[in-house]
């Protein structure tokens, strides 16, 4: 099953919530604590012509200024025509985005899996080894559970008595979004990444969400290879644009 961009973009809005959300034309404008990109960016869900686009960009900039957050646009295949030239003319620069991958992953069970209702200290300690966790980013992850309107889980796999790998999943209809997949450096190359994928896929399948999707940095070729071997393929990419 190949999923279209609008379906995956809507699933992402559900899976990565933000407490402050507004709409301006075809743009959804989201704000949290300035940590994660998706929860603190504006993006379009309507790729049609927008005769008010330039004025709309100005309003979105004013919106983020009022929130005390930097203005960030997330560019996807659903951009209205002319968005990027207007952003570049206003001094925006491109920042790394992500590759969206989707497909079927063989479900598996993990006898020693620790399933959590929220991201606990052990889960966060593993994630901190994979990406920089500033105070805003960590606070957003800790504040996500009460904002979610879809079933979600946080998974920890243990090795040698310590948290060794972590992941997060959100079930949304037939879709299972996978996030924050990480393995401690000292436990890498032991197959834990594939075990995470299988366990989270199994969790989703048990809730009718048998089709998985995730996002990964374009330069993370090792992770992309693992995901492709597990059954995922590239669907599309997005990029961020921030003002200089």
CATH number for the domain that contains residue 186: 3.40.630.30
CA distance 135 to 124: 12
Do residues 189 and 170 both lie within one domain?
yes
Please give the helix or strand (H or E) that residue 45 lies within, else none. none
Average pLDDT over residues 198-224: 96
With respect to residue 242, please indicate whether it lies within any of the assigned structural domains. Answer: no
Do residues 159 and 219 both lie within one domain?
yes
- Over residues 52-71, the pLDDT tens digits come to 999 999 999 999 999 999 99
Do residues 154 and 114 both lie within one domain?
yes
> What confidence score (pLDDT) does residue 135 get?
83
CA distance 78 to 149: 24
With respect to residue 94, please indicate whether it lies within any of the assigned structural domains. Answer: yes
Last residue of a domain, one of 31, 66, 99: 99
pTM of the full predicted structure?
0.94
With respect to residue 188, please indicate whether it lies within any of the assigned structural domains. Answer: yes
- Over residues 96-117, the pLDDT tens digits come to 999 999 999 999 999 889 999 9
Give the domain range for residue 180.
102-237
Count of domains in the chain? 2
> What confidence score (pLDDT) does residue 136 get?
87
- Over residues 131-160, the pLDDT tens digits come to 666 788 889 999 999 999 999 999 999 998
Last residue of a domain, one of 53, 82, 99: 99
Do residues 155 and 138 both lie within one domain?
yes
At 196, the pLDDT band (50, 70, 90 cuts) reads very high
Do residues 57 and 33 both lie within one domain?
yes
> What confidence score (pLDDT) does residue 111 get?
83
Do residues 11 and 25 both lie within one domain?
yes
Do residues 121 and 191 both lie within one domain?
yes
Report the chain's mean pLDDT, rounded to a whole number: 95
With respect to residue 244, please indicate whether it lies within any of the assigned structural domains. Answer: no
- Site of tokens 């034309």: 25
> What confidence score (pLDDT) does residue 158 get?
95
- Sequential DSSP letters for 134-199: -HHHHHHHHHSGGG--S-EEEEEEEETTEEEEEEEEEEETTEEEEEEEEE-GGGTTSSHHHHHHHH
Average pLDDT over residues 148-174: 96
Pick from 110, 138, 113: nearest CA to 125: 138
Average pLDDT over residues 119-127: 95
With respect to residue 126, please indicate whether it lies within any of the assigned structural domains. Answer: yes
Last residue of a domain, one of 44, 66, 99: 99
> What confidence score (pLDDT) does residue 130 get?
81
Tell whether the model's pLDDT for residue 1 goes beyond 80: no
CA distance 144 to 127: 15
């Amino acid at each position: 099953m190949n999923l279209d961009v609008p379906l995956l973009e809507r699933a992402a809005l559900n899976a990565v919530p933000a407490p402050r959300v507004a709409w301006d034309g075809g743009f959804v404008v989201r704000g949290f604590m300035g940590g994660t990109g998706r929860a603190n960016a504006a993006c379009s869900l309507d790729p049609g012509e927008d005769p008010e686009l330039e004025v709309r960009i100005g309003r979105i900039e004013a919106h983020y200024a009022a929130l005390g957050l930097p203005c960030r646009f997330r560019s996807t295949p659903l951009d209205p025509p002319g968005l990027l030239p207007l952003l570049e003319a206003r001094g925006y620069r491109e920042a790394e985005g992500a590759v969206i991958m989707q497909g079927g992953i063989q479900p598996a069970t993990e006898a020693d899996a620790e399933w959590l209702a929220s991201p606990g200290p052990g889960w966060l300690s593993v994630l901190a080894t994979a990406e920089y966790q500033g105070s805003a980013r960590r606070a957003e992850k800790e504040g996500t559970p009460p904002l979610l309107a879809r079933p979600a889980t946080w998974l920890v796999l243990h090795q040698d008595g310590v948290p060794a790998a972590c992941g997060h999943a959100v079930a949304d209809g037939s879709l299972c979004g996978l996030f924050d997949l990480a393995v401690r450096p000292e436990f890498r190359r032991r197959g834990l990444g594939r075990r995470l994928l299988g366990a989270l896929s199994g969790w989703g399948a048990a809730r009718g969400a048998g089709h998985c999707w995730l996002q990964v940095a374009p330069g993370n070729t090792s992770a992309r290879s693992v995901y492709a071997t597990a059954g995922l393929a590239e669907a599309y990419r997005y990029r961020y644009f921030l003002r200089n």
